[in-house]
Amino acid sequence: MTELDFFSSAKKRSAAGRLARLDTVNETMNSDEFNCYGFEYYDNPDSGCGYGGYSYDGRYAETAQQIINHYQLKPGDSVLEVGCAKGFLLVEFHKLGMNVCGVEISDYAIKNAHPLIRHCLVRASAADLPLQSNCFDLVMSKEVLPHLTEADIERSFAEFKRIAQDSHVFLEIQCAATDTAKALCFKWDPTHQTIQTPQWWRRKLVDALYQGDFHLKEIFSA
């Protein structure tokens, strides 16, 4: 396993901005539409939690090129993103000549995905992937595992191993080093189910015999 950071250069929301928005958290965070990753989760600017608006802005263009360079991918190679949301990262791989596929649990995200890759998305859970084994050159999952139960995390590791085999795998995982940071994570996005420390995740990766690369991302440093 190697810890790599591909996403630090991408435009992203600051921790300070997240903390400021938590003051406006309202009842939408407990709605079915929020918990099913619908409009309230992605695109309601007044909810105070979740994305608060998620539209394509090209922030992942440089990241996709870095990943292609690192894994020495070539045009025509296949890239799978598990938990791809609206597919904004996959768009950049598509523009660079990759064959892309995305798996996403949210009907809303798929219906509102970038039009260039919407037809490449499949509705499914990371714990049960309706895909053939060993059929991708790169398998990625960004900030998805903490939204799963511990049992489904273990199933997801087995699925990643099955579909990737000898291919490259990269996981971006949200974590929290302190109880205060963990509480802020759950408040900012209550769909999280497993926010744990970096040490916990490293043990989980070792126990799962994970052979790919990863990055542990602290959302809040409190």
- The 10s digit of each residue's pLDDT in 49-98 is 678 789 999 999 999 999 999 999 999 999 999 999 999 999 999 999 99
139: pLDDT confidence band, cut at 50, 70 and 90?
Answer: very high
31: pLDDT confidence band, cut at 50, 70 and 90?
Answer: confident
Using alpha carbons only, what angle is made at residue 119 by residues 132 and 158, rounded to the nearest 5 degrees? 30
CA distance 92 to 117: 10
Place of tokens 């890759």: 117
Q: What are 101's strand-pairing partners?
A: 80
Contact 10, 59 (CB under 8 A): yes
Tell me what the mean pLDDT of segment 38-42 comes to: 89
| Closest among 120, 103, 112 to 54, alpha carbons compared | 112
- Domain segments of the chain as ranges: 2-218
CA distance 191 to 30: 9
Strands, sheet with 99-104, edge to edge from the N-terminal-most edge strand? 2-3, 213-218, 168-175, 138-142, 78-82, 99-104, 121-123
Torsion over CA: 37, 140, 116, 11 (sign): positive
Percent pLDDT > 70 in the chain is 88
> Phi and psi of 122, rounded to 5°?
-125, 135
What superfamily does domain 2-218 belong to in CATH? Vaccinia Virus protein VP39 (3.40.50.150)
Tell me what the mean pLDDT of segment 10-25 comes to: 55
